[in-house]
Amino acid sequence: MWERLIRRQDRERLGIGFEKIESPFFAEFHVRRSLAGYGGMFGLNELKAEFGCYGRDAHNIPESHIRKMLEAVERGDWLLVLDRPISPLSRDTANRWWAITGKRVLESVSHPPRVQESASLRRAEVLEVSRQPAPEKHYHCTFTKPRTLPDGAIDYTEFGGPVPTCGVAEYGTFALLGGDETNPAGNIVLKQIRGNPLPAALGTLALGGTAAATAGVACGGLCGAGAVASTVGASALAGLVGLLWPSSLGDSSLYTDEQLDSLKQGRTRIRLHIEQQADGTLKGYGYNTQQRPDWEMIPVVQFKARGAEQVADFGDGVTLIWTPAVDPSATSGIPPLEGRPQAPKIWIYPPTEQADNLIVNPIHPPEYKDFILVFPAGSGVRPLYVVMSVRLDPGTVTGLGEDISGIWLSGAGVGLGVPVPARVADRLRGKSFTSFDKFRKAFWMAVVNDPELSSQFSLKNIDRMRDGFAPTARYADAVGRRKVFELHHVEWISEGGKVYDVDNMRVNTPKNHIAIHR
């Protein structure tokens, strides 16, 4: 790929159009690699000369000078010319780079293109065309959207441009929480790692259920309050939670509170992923879902009263426990996390191969644990988008299962569902798993490897189970995108139920599983 670095003031003199200018975001990535010695770049020495580093290699340039050079590229003082830019400035329909291009408004909104009338078009034809009603545009509703899009629109394609790469703040107010210790109830207390000050009405939040239960595995289940801090260590977190409040409140394309109260799933134009890596650093990124309809729908979860607590059940035994603020006018009840790791800068990408290469080994939205979270009416807390990353430590399978006869899953749609067959329990008992997700895959592989059980499934479902995926349920038993059989813990994990005890599990249809948790 041919590439050249030029000063912004030289662009017009050199006759280079914006279609050849890479966006500053991707340009900064290219320049960073070139400064590190990966590939050559015309004009790089001129950039170095401006900061007194001409002729030096990366090892001899102070970090502060490298940072200043990259900031100059991010500001657009220096432009990267490519023969095939990933995100050329000519497609900047959101006007993120208006300081470079000189565009401050969405031209396709302010100045819609006019249709030129052909000289040969007869007056009668013009009149006939004018009688045709303009096609009505139907916009979907969404929970989140980029704030630069006008009222009523949720897609960039409405205005003739691609999805730009931008920071998470483009979609709303973001806060990142983490926890490394438990409270007296055994739940992981969440504290703030980054973000704007949180609303005082938010009160306090804690992770419960599987998240809290597995955080104490290293203590053999005997840990008391605060024990996770000693077992996890200062550099490791038992759980990460990201919160995002939409920035376009009052936009007609956003769901109303009444709509959210009745929805089981809702659309979002952003899907986020956060994780703590093996070296203790945090990594975060996200995708815009405009080009991936299969990524845009996520569950809507309501807080439910459970005794004196308000609990949101996210499935797999993971819960979020909310304690309302005693005095909503006071400061936020969520304190900063001491010794917190450095928070990552989170970018939201279009779902492209180039974006995946920048992220490096990305995990894609089907694997995310994210939801639209609705607080009780009158709480004073707006609904928010929540994404979590929970440490699920090893567990060992116990339990005997039950002898079954007839069609095993025929009762999965009633009561608590159907028990785990004894023959499946025999295959799994004593085995250890690092997460419940891995156990679930092994569970269905054990089912398909049993000749009597596998004979009850279609060839399509047999193929699914061989790959570790749950079989699909009947259409009448599916709910939205929840279409496969699910595992349910009879005694909820948040109430002391054992995570890997097959005698505490039942297999359910999605429809019945949802009904159980109401």
11, 48, 64, 354 from 5: Cα distances, Å: 10, 11, 20, 20
pLDDT in tens, 304-313: 988 778 999 8
At residue 191, the pLDDT reads 92
Q: Is the pLDDT of residue 113 over 80?
A: no
Identify the residue with better confidence: 31 or 459: 459
Mean pLDDT value of segment 355-377? 87
At residue 140, the pLDDT reads 74
Residue 11, number of CB atoms within 10 A of its CB: 18
Q: Taking phi first (over 0 means left), then psi (-120 to 50 degrees means alpha), and beta for anything else, what does residue 307 get?
A: left
Confidence of residue 219 (pLDDT cuts 50, 70, 90): very low
% pLDDT > 90, the chain = 34
pLDDT in tens, 461-496: 999 999 999 999 998 998 876 789 999 989 876 566
CATH of region 395-516: 3.90.540.10
Closest CA to 176 of 283, 318, 62: 283
Confidence of residue 131 (pLDDT cuts 50, 70, 90): very low
At residue 373, the pLDDT reads 96
Highest averaged pLDDT of the listed ranges 108-117, 195-204, 399-408: 399-408
At residue 235, the pLDDT reads 47
Confidence of residue 93 (pLDDT cuts 50, 70, 90): low
pLDDT in tens, 167-214: 999 999 999 999 878 777 778 889 999 887 787 778 889 988 655 555
Instruction: Parse the chain into domains and list their residue ranges.
Output: 3-101, 166-390, 395-516
CA dist 313 and 302 (Å) reads 8
pLDDT in tens, 276-298: 876 778 999 999 999 898 899 99
Q: How far is CA 508 from the centre of its chain?
A: 26
